[in-house]
Amino acid sequence: MKSMRANLSQLILQLQDTLIDAKLMVIRKLDSVRGLVGTFMEKPNGFEVSNGEGFVAVNRISQNTIKLVDRLVFSKSNFNLH
């Protein structure tokens, strides 16, 4: 029974890693096709061009939303404020 729990835990962690990788692939693709809209991050000496922290998709019919956030960029942006 202990072995089955360990295997299940390992599978869950692998699934989480796979989902994070897939999410980051989608975010990178959206970053590459963003077009002319720029994102800027405030720095002590001015503003710096940035890829942003993520995207929000909205289903206009059901009003459901999904947020795709690059957690590393988000954390760096928000925990390194001057």
Provide the token pair at 1. 């029974």
- pLDDT of 82 reads 54
pLDDT tens-digit profile of 24-78?
A: 999 888 888 766 566 777 778 888 777 677 788 889 999 999 888 888 877 877 7
Residue 66 to residue 40: CA distance in whole angstroms: 22
Domain definitions of the chain by residue range: 2-79
0.75 exceeded by pTM: no
Which pLDDT belongs to residue 50?
74
pLDDT value, residue 8: 94
Assign 3-state DSSP to the chain and report helix, strand, coil percentages, each to 5.
50, 25, 25
